[in-house]
Amino acid sequence: MGGTDDADDEEGRLNGAKNTTMTTQNLLVELFVEELPPKVLKKLGEAFATQLTDQLRAMGLANGDSVVTAYASPRRLAAHITHVWLKAADKAVQQKLMPVTVGLDAAGQATPALLKKLQALGADMADPAKTVASLKRAPDGKAEALFYDSMVTGATLDTGLQKALEEAIVKLPIPKVMSYQLETDCELPGWSSVNFVRPAHGLVALHGSTVVPVKALGLSAGNSTKGHRFEAKVDKVVIANADSYAQTLLDDGAVIASFDARRAEIARQLAAAAAQVGGGARAIEDDALLDEVTALVERPNVLVCEFEKQFLDVPQECLILTMKANQKYFPLLDAKGKLSNKFLVVSNISPTDASAVIGGNERVVRPRLADAKFFFDQDRKKTLASRVAGLDKVVYHNKLGTQGERMERVRAITRAIGQQLGGEVLAQAADTAAQLAKTDLLTDMVGEFPELQGIMGGYYARHDGLTEDIAFAIEDHYKPRFAGDELPRNPVGLVVALADKLETLVGMFGIGNLPTGDKDPFALRRHALGVVRMLAERSVAIDLDQMIDMGARPFGALVDQWTDIEQQNFGYNKQKLLEFIYDRLSVSSRDSGYSAQEVDAVVSLKPRRLGRVAGYLTAVRGFSALPEAPALAAANKRISNILKKAGEVDPHVSEVLLKEPAELALFAAMKDVVPKADAQFEAGDYTASLQTLAALRAPVDAFFDGVMVNAEEMDLRLNRQGLLKALHNAMNRVADLSKLAA
């Protein structure tokens, strides 16, 4: 049973509230329902508990010290909240009534409008003059207003929890609502309906050991619930008090109520079962599968099953996918990471003799594996090359043609990139891989399991006698599929993957299918991020804008003048696509731990070789730590503003026109420092280049202190602007240092 919060009691006594309403007890609320959707169970449980707690805190029935624990099992959502008051404290409230000129007449008497307002607020009107005299006057903008002080009675738990429960139910993130009829506690039993994620059959609400009389979904709260469908010790599980909920459900109901505790128990049993199999066996790691299975069982029991070894001739990705997706089984891998013929089942029952459960699961999985074997055997009867013509019959996009037409564009981009990066040998191998990369879309296996596209193409390429480079390229050309995914394993795969993503980006930008908000049906953000990662992490020696040119050429007349950013043939705009890719570069760089300021300094210059960006960012971070950095960043910002106002500036400097000592000193310092910094930049030592430029701080400061840039004499002005332009060019090769200014 929840105890008394001594600190809160003491505060209540000090306030004169010497009654039990100021004591706190722990609260337990449970909704018992039919089987909930497993893929959203955890989210539903967390949302239910959070909404309840937030509502109670808003009403003063709970506070920041209240700890909430969410429970979610296949048939229940529950929340345990500590330190919940039986009644919230009364609260002093000041309300603005109206301007003084509206509330009081010339004689200072209350107007009818003021009296009506006070009456509506429940003010004591036995002596109106006394009530009006108690009102406060205070400035309100340009006028003076009347304010009414009152004491608002705190909410009781009965009414507060009723409201909180209704709000929590309404705000649940339910993917699809059911409508069902109520039999009790409704206006028309059997006819009145209610909307909820699943039909609800029980409601528990306990404040300590006391039932809170609330209602929801046609149910009245009590202190009993149901346990496991088959293994509960009693039909009605009685909860003695809020704090005994989880343990009572476990002991009497055979249910682990906590989602996290149940998940941890499944993980423990999976590891123990794998160890029992021996030979270094381990269950496949899949957090999504573990979450889903956790949402399907109330008390897990992991069992070891097996299938015939003949099925291991099928690619393990196929077997793993069918066991995970269709049966929710955990395949077992051996010490070398190869699939074994044993798998783990998470059962919801724990019979003394589990042989029937094991046998049933083995019988269920066998037809699934047989189907996979059949698909694999049938697919290998046709070569990938023989399937190429079939791509012409598959529509890719109504504005961009068939998969066959798309494949030809990808081949053209592949050849262009391959020639530049590795000559004819690389171009030819990549061309072959690009021609065959999409043919596995026409196979039975990929038709059944779309997640295996690319992977099956690699297997079938090996069966057709193609080289490992081409097989890997076909398998890898979708990579990276997601954030953190590995990149293609070889140059052939890298070239095809780049070409495939570039074709998608150029094509979709061309027809105006750009992402909006959180909608990105063609995964263009993922494609752009993939291009960024491949160019950056593999240091591809092609400029980004040049590569986009390569991606656009195969579209032919559709983008005939696409290089002109003002031209919008085919709805395509190169500048938009460049900005989109640089946005992904910014996001990726920030995700790598660099600050928004550091990233902006580098990316704002639109670096053409993305392989250099990591070095630029490192150099900027090192430069920022130098004592000279703030002053140089501020000076650079000042220089940028001067040059922006000046328009086109020639960086040429005539030494003859340098008059002032400070500009002579800056010019001399630049002649000494800039060549060193440029040499370091060209050598790829960007950090050293920026640190070398830090030596210019003193002469730059002196220049701005002692030289008037916009001199009246035009030749002096242009020369000084040229000096600043040359300085600006030298200082901003790595990054726009003005972005580092505070």
**pLDDT recorded at residue 186:** 67
Phi/psi region, residue 353 (left: phi>0; alpha: psi -120 to 50; beta: rest), is beta
Task: Compute the distance between CA of residue 156 and CA of residue 163 in angstroms, rounded to an integer.
Answer: 11
Q: Which two tokens stand for residue 716?
A: 């002096």
Task: Compute the distance between CA of residue 513 and CA of residue 524 in angstroms, rounded to an integer.
Answer: 9
> HSE-up of 112 (CA within 13 Å, CB side)?
0
**pLDDT recorded at residue 69:** 97
**pLDDT recorded at residue 558:** 60
Phi, psi of 677 (to 5 degrees): -65, -40
**Nearest residue to 81 via CA among 243, 224, 214, 216:** 243
Handedness of CA 239, 243, 244, 247 (dihedral sign): positive
Q: Are 53 and 66 in contact (CB under 8 A)?
A: yes
Residues 6 or more apart in contact with residue 514 via CB below 8 angstroms: 508, 524, 576, 580
Q: Are 686 and 700 in contact (CB under 8 A)?
A: no
Work out the angle between the directed axes of helices 697-706 and 629-646 (0-180°, nearest 10): 50
**pLDDT recorded at residue 18:** 37
For 158-215, the DSSP string reads HHHHHHHHHHHHHTS--SS-EEEE-SSSSSSTTT-EEEESS-EEEEEEEETTEEP--E
In single-letter form, the type of residue at position 33 comes to: V
Q: Which residue has the tokens 């650079």?
A: 636
For 266-316, the pLDDT digits (tens) are 999 999 999 999 999 999 999 999 999 999 999 999 999 999 999 999 999
DSSP class of 337: S
Residues 6 or more apart in contact with residue 536 via CB below 8 angstroms: 585, 588, 610, 611, 613, 614
In 10 A of CB 154, how many CB atoms?
18
Q: Are 506 and 547 in contact (CB under 8 A)?
A: no
DSSP class of 223: S
For 233-293, the DSSP string reads SSSSEE--SGGGHHHHHHHHH-----HHHHHHHHHHHHHHHHHHH-TT-EEPP-HHHHHHH
pTM of the model: 0.79
List strand residue ranges (DSSP E) for 597-675, in order. Answer: none
Task: Compute the distance between CA of residue 721 and CA of residue 704 in angstroms, rounded to an integer.
Answer: 12
- The H or E element spanning position 494 is helix 491-510
Q: Is 98 helix (H, G, I), strand (E, B) or coil?
A: strand
- The H or E element spanning position 146 is strand 143-152
**pLDDT recorded at residue 559:** 55
Regions in the chain scoring below 50 on pLDDT: 1-21, 560-571
Q: Is 72 helix (H, G, I), strand (E, B) or coil?
A: strand
For 689-729, the DSSP string reads HHHHHGGGHHHHHHHHHH--SS-SSHHHHHHHHHHHHHHHH
**pLDDT recorded at residue 570:** 44
Residues 6 or more apart in contact with residue 702 via CB below 8 angstroms: 662, 665, 666
**pLDDT recorded at residue 101:** 85
Strands 330-333 and 200-207: unpaired
Strands 178-181 and 193-196: antiparallel
**Nearest residue to 207 via CA among 25, 70, 52:** 25
> HSE-up of 107 (CA within 13 Å, CB side)?
4
Q: Are 417 and 483 in contact (CB under 8 A)?
A: no
